[in-house]
Amino acid sequence: MDRENLDQELKLLHERICPALNHPLRMKILYLLNEKSLNVGELTAEMGVPQSSVSRHLRVLRERGLVRAERQGTTIWYVLVEPELTTAIEILRRILSRQLGNHLYQAQTILGILPEEA
């Protein structure tokens, strides 16, 4: 793959896949849907944020084909189309876990801080 195609694919990844992982609420949605399909009301109850917020995050995922909406009367059930997304999140969690192990003081005392530079 030459540089043109590589850049093109990375741009597509950035536009169409990465946004799924780039917000705590969206990652949470993915996790919840990985357990079982839920409707918007159930998701809203789990997430503790306004319904409009859940709905907008669902749209980000839906527009990218990562979740699917199935209407059943007035209720809309959301289904995880790409369970591999949770696999990717698991990898990121493993990295974070390693970091917190390596920087236990920072993790326990000041959660906001970043690891020190080498």
Partner DNA sequence: GCGGAATATTCGGATAAACGCATATAAGGA
Partner DNA sequence: TCCTTATATGCGTTTATCCGAATATTCCGC
- Of the pair 10, 51, the CB lying nearest its own copies is at 10
Q: What is the 3-state secondary structure (H, E, C) of the chain?
A: CCHHHHHHHHHHHHHHCHHHHCCHHHHHHHHHHHHCCEEHHHHHHHHCCCHHHHHHHHHHHHHCCCEEEEEECCEEEEEECCCHHHHHHHHHHHHHHHHHHHCHHHHHHCCCCCCCCC
Residues 43-72 binding its own copies (CB under 8 A) are 46, 48, 62-66, 68-70
- Give least dist CB 15 to DNA, A: 8
- Give least dist CB 90 to DNA, A: 21
Rule CB under 8 A: which residues touch its own copies? 1, 3, 5-19, 21-24, 27-28, 31, 46, 48, 62-66, 68-70, 82, 84-85, 87-89, 91-96, 98-100, 102-103, 110-118
